[in-house]
């Protein structure tokens, strides 16, 4: 499985990096919207919505919300990012609530209508703000594409660091009922890997030495929230008794399995970037 996982990553990573660095923001936003909506499709299945027509309608509703945000952001001067910034703040607020949800495993764990409503709301509050954060970071000047790559690379490094540290040193379970394989040692390894990557690669994005302490602060919160995103998707899968959101990507599961950490991390990074001005 590790070999398959590695081979798939070697294919996906260069494509993702090339897209981030080479595509203009409108095209990057469109491509990421497609990926996020595929993840949303898988999320809707985890909420016990088996009817493809019902899932399709909900998917279109979220797509129209993305379109509405873009349309409402137009101005005579070319465009405004205010709505995207508001959505980013909403996203950070939502993930704070999601962290509390993780402490109450049984909340919305049944299969009735009320549980679906909460999980459907969670889907929109996860996907739309993350997409807005991605577009906001990529559109920032200067070097928005490099800042977005840095944000993604922090999450990727943390994920890899947690995986290998957990396999080598893992003893204490992080959240055994939600994700039995995740350990405290793995999380510490992920934080260390993500922080090292952030501090080493930040100058590539244009950061000055004076900005590195602020970037370190944002990086550690980005990593911690990425763990929340990962655990929250694991919670959804536990509630319906599945291991992966789908089998679309060999060795990795579904698209949602690959972007769950990113959904939570991007709004935090974008907000930190706005607050500290780097």
Whether omega before 142 lies within 30 degrees of 0, making that bond cis, reads: yes
Nearest to 38 by CA among 110, 117, 131: 131
* Averaged pLDDT, 6-11: 75
* Averaged pLDDT, 155-161: 94
Cα of 132 vs its chain's centroid, Å: 12
- pLDDT value of residue 271: 98
CB atoms within 10 A of CB 74: 10
**Residue 45's domain spans which residues?**
2-276
Any residues with CB less than 8 A from the CB of 77 and at least 6 apart, and which? none
The helix/strand/coil state of 253 is strand
Residues 39/44/45/49 CA torsion (nearest 10 deg): -160
Cα of 144 vs its chain's centroid, Å: 18
Whether the per-residue pLDDT at 1 is higher than 60: the answer is: no
Tell me how many domains the chain contains: 1
- pLDDT value of residue 81: 87
Let me know how long the chain is: 278
Any residues with CB less than 8 A from the CB of 32 and at least 6 apart, and which? 131, 134, 135
CA distances, 165 to each of 144, 161, 168 (Å)? 31, 6, 5
The helix/strand/coil state of 249 is strand
Taking the whole predicted model, whether its pTM rises above 0.85 is answered as yes
Report the alpha-carbon distance of residue 269 to residue 267 in Å, rounded.
6
Report the alpha-carbon distance of residue 162 to residue 184 in Å, rounded.
9
Structure tokens belonging to residue 270 = 């974008």
Q: What is the pLDDT of residues 55-110, one digit of tens each?
A: 999 999 999 999 999 999 886 666 778 999 999 999 999 999 999 999 998 898 88
Whether the per-residue pLDDT at 211 is higher than 60: the answer is: yes
Q: pLDDT-derived band of residue 252, with 50, 70 and 90 as boundaries?
A: low
CA-based torsion, 157, 261, 43, 28: positive or negative: negative
- pLDDT value of residue 111: 76
Q: pLDDT-derived band of residue 13, with 50, 70 and 90 as boundaries?
A: confident
């Amino acid at each position: 499985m590790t070999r398959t996982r590695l081979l798939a990553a070697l294919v996906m990573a260069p494509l993702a990096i090339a897209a981030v660095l080479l595509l203009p923001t409108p095209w990057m936003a469109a491509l990421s919207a497609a990926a996020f909506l595929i993840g949303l499709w898988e999320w809707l299945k985890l909420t016990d919505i088996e009817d493809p027509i019902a899932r399709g309608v909900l998917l279109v509703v979220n797509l129209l919300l993305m379109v509405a945000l873009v349309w409402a952001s137009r101005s005579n001067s070319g465009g405004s990012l205010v709505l995207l910034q508001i959505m980013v703040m909403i996203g950070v607020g939502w993930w704070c609530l999601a962290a509390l949800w993780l402490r109450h495993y049984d909340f919305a764990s049944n299969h009735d209508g009320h549980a679906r409503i909460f999980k459907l709301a969670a889907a929109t509050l996860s996907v739309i703000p993350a997409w807005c954060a991605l577009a906001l970071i990529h559109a920032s000047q200067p070097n928005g594409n490099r800042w977005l790559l840095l944000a993604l690379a922090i999450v990727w490094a943390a994920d890899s660091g947690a995986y290998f540290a957990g396999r080598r040193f893992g003893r204490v379970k992080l959240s055994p009922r939600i994700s039995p394989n995740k350990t405290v040692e793995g999380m510490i390894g992920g934080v260390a890997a993500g922080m090292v990557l952030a501090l080493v690669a930040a100058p590539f994005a244009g950061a000055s030495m004076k900005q590195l302490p602020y970037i370190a602060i944002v990086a550690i919160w980005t990593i911690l929230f990425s763990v929340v995103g990962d655990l929250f998707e694991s919670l959804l899968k536990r509630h319906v008794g599945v291991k992966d959101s789908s089998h679309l990507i060999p060795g990795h599961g579904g698209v949602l399995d690959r972007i769950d950490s990113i959904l939570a991390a991007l709004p935090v990074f974008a907000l930190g970037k706005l607050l500290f001005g780097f």
